[in-house]
Each structure stands twice: as C-alpha cells, then as structure tokens.
Amino acid sequence: MSPAGPLPTHHAETSAVARRYAAVRAATEALAQPLSAEDCCVQSMPDASPTKWHLAHTSWFFETFILEAHEPGFRPFDAAFRVLFNSYYQGVGSQHPRPQRGLLTRPSLASVLDYRADVDARMLRLLQQGIPAAELAALLELGLQHEQQHQELILTDIKHLLWCNPLWPAYRSVPAAAESGSAGPSGWQHFEGGLAQIGHAGAGFAFDNELPRHHIYLQPYQLATQLVTNADYLAFMADGGYHDPAHWLADGWDWCRTQQLTHPLYWRQDGQDWSEFTLAGGRPLAPRQPVAHLSYYEADAYARWAGARLPTEGEWESAASVCAAPQGHFADSGVLHPCPAQRAPGQGAGLLQMLGELWEWTQSSYAPYPGFAPAPGAVGEYNGKFMVNQYVLRGGSCATPAGHVRASYRNFFPAAARWQFTGLRLARDER
C-alpha cells in the first residue's frame, strides 16, 4: 500500500474520516440485509466464505491491526475471535481452516453483528481523537479498501450459494439490464506500443502489488473495443469449443474433461433455450450481455478459437490509462450483472467496458513488479505471498464498489476459478 499521509487532526476533517469509515461499514451490513441467518452461515465450497464470516473478518481486521495497537486499555471483544476470523495472517497467529468456515454455527449472526457494533464504536472513538501517525492512517485506509474487497466477495459467494439451491432463489430484486444498445459491433483499437509505464502513480491509495511504477516495452497491439458477449460464446460452444482439445492448454483440457464442462458456470439449457442464474434468480440468457464467470482456461480457449489471444496486463493498463469512456455498471448501480456495451451520443470510437462490468483475464502470471517490497509486519502478507500459480485480472466488475478500482489495480485468481464476475476482452498482435 502506498503511504496515505497522516489523518487530519482538525475536527471537521476528522469527522469526515469517521463518516467515511461508518459509510463503508454500513454498506457491508446492507449487503447482508436480504439474507436470512441460515443464508449467512452456509459455505457452498472451500473457495467461498459465509457472509457471517465476512462480516466478522472485516471487523477482526480493524480490531487486530488498529485497536489492539492504538486503543488505550485494549481488550478484545472475544479472545476466541482472534483465531476464528483470522484469514491467512500467519504473523498474527493460528487460523480456523478455511474449508470449515461454514461449520461455525456459533457465534451466531446476532453475536457477529454485536461484534461489528462494538468494533465500530471503539474505532469511531479513536478516530474522533485525531490520529497523527502516518502508519495508522495507512492501516485505516487499507482496512477500508480491504472491506470493500469483501463487499464484492459477499456478493459473489452468496451467488454461488444460492445457485446451489435447485429453486434458484433470488438474492434480491434487481433490475434487468437493457438488452438494446447503441454501441454497434465490437471492433479493434490499435496501440503503437513502445516504451510505457505501468503501476500506480500519484498520491492516492494503492495496494502494494501495484507498486513500484516501472517501465515496460510493448510491441504494437490491438484490443477489442468491447467484451466478448454471450452470443459470441454460444458460437464457440456450437462449434464444439468444449470438445476440441486444439483450443485448450493441456492443463485446462484436463480440468475441462475432469469437470465434464460444456458451458460457463451458472448457465442451464432448457430445450433449445439457455437461461442464466443471476443475483435476481434465473433469467433467459441475454445474447448481447458480456459472458461472465469464465475461468482463465475457458477465456484462453475462446481467444484461441477466435484467432486472437488474451491481453497482457501491461497492454491492458496502458490502454486503460488513455481510455475515453472507462466507466461501467459498478455495484452501486444496483444492476449486479454485466450490461451490454453502450456508446453515449457523440462519443467517438474507443474502448468500452474497461472498468466496472467484468474482471478481465490477462495472460500475465501474478508476479511482483521489479523492486516490489511487501510492507513490514503481518500486513505484508496481504498480497505478496500469493504471487505464484495465479493470473492477473483487470478492470473491476458489476459487484465492485464504485471508486474502489483504477487502471493499475491488480486482481488475481487461479486458472480454474469461475465464481467471480470474470470475462474477457480479446487482444491480437498488430498485423
């Protein structure tokens, strides 16, 4: 994470920081409002976590990394929570096994909400005192950004859980995305390549994996102006895409055969028609909407079938930094599903859907930038120790809080992950 500087000590400015803290915390609880206590406790697979655990872990972060070190007369809300809700911070102590989070029927959801209320009251008292230490300011910002990441995980994890129910229940009523649009067919945008810089620049927040900013060299390349759509992907399927090993990486083909896959996650065929599970329940598959919930293996296979490839993260970031219309339908829009490409009246040609529709797979392995150094202490485990056997995704999604991502933001998942809002944009070498 980049230094955020000292928090202001002036009362009005300090109150603004406290209001922001309260707003982020309230947004997390609002995501849990449509859920029952039973919904909040269940874990649908080892990679997902119960909503109740997300609510507790984000509170654990503030209690462990801020209150424990800075609150006068600190006493934990419950000493057992230090282990129960520690995710992966070895420097802090032991953790309850991740695949067993759904077995934690105790503490109850009510107790977890009491825990959140207690941590919030103590944090707000601390913030109202004014916090001059730059280190504490950086930890507070990291904690809020961390909570926003878990807001997205709450949505993706509960989507997977509700999909496992044969009734396909809705998380909540969500307006359907308009299928009509004025963007026209996808095209290609040319980029000259050459010497470029990627990585976070400026005084705002960034995670440590976005640093340091550094030079790269790019060959001339092209990016598709829009994301690959459901209709595009149906053509891949109709052409035997899931049955032809020529399009697949060897490990991906083995995975596809072992899982007996024939279509993206959350799709279901009813006769000749396809439907898709969304956070609003089942809906007919919309041809012009971007195809979502693809693994890296599927995205790469589609790109090969299409005679293209996935972009590198350097190509993506360099293009996004000059994109004229980057904004998509972030979680704050309430749609909670990717929308068809739209070009505003008078908007010229250029890249669409770069931020806030789907996380876009890149062909880049998740690795440290030249000169990367993790933060000291346990918070240094936040990103650095995961830099192996994963691929970088860019752009944020329809489940990402608005204002949380930027062109330099690096998300990462293993190649088989499909439950996140992941899609793809094609790239190709300049011809």
Q: pLDDT, tens digit, for every residue of 40-64?
A: 999 999 999 999 999 999 999 999 9
DSSP 316-377: HHHHHTT-S------GGGS--S-------TT--S-----SSB-EEEEEEE--PPTT--PPSS
Given this model, what pLDDT does residue 15 score? 79
Q: Is 75 exposed, middle or buried (0-12, 13-18, 19+ CB in 10 A)?
A: exposed
| Contact between 252 and 382 (Cβ < 8 Å) | no
Asked: is 11-163 a CATH 3.40.50 domain? The reply is: no
User: Phi then psi for 397, rounded to 5 degrees?
Assistant: -145, 180
Alpha-carbon span 262 to 277, nearest angstrom: 16
**Residue 117 host element (H or E):** helix 109-128
User: CATH topology for 188-429?
Assistant: paralog of FGE (formylglycine-generating enzyme) (3.90.1580)
Whether the model pTM is above 0.85: yes
Determine the straight-line distance between the first and last CA of the chain, rounded to whole angstroms: 39
Given this model, what pLDDT does residue 179 score? 62
Structure-token pair, residue 90: 């070895």
Instruction: Collect the ranges in the chain with pLDDT lower than 50.
Output: 1-10
Q: Is 376 exposed, middle or buried (0-12, 13-18, 19+ CB in 10 A)?
A: exposed
**Residue 278 host element (H or E):** strand 273-278
Instruction: Output DSSP code: residue 309.
Output: B
Question: Measured on CA atoms in the order 203, 206, 211, 215, is the torsion positive or negative?
Answer: negative
As a whole number of Å, the CA-based R_g of the chain is 22
DSSP 247-260: GS-HHHHHHHHHHT
Q: Is 14 exposed, middle or buried (0-12, 13-18, 19+ CB in 10 A)?
A: middle
DSSP 131-163: ---HHHHHHHHHHHHHHHHHHHHHHHHHHHHHH
Torsion angle defined by CA atoms of residues 107, 113, 116 and 118, in that order, rounded to the nearest 10 degrees: -90
Instruction: Output DSSP code: residue 397.
Output: B
**Extended beta strands in 129-247, E state:** 188-191, 194-198, 214-218, 221-224
Q: pLDDT, tens digit, for every residue of 84-96?
A: 999 999 999 999 9
Fold matches, 11-163 and 188-429:
no
Sorted by where each begins, the domain ranges of the chain are 11-163, 188-429
Given this model, what pLDDT does residue 5 score? 36
Given this model, what pLDDT does residue 182 score? 64
Residue 84 to residues 3, 23, 73, Cα–Cα distance (Å): 30, 26, 23
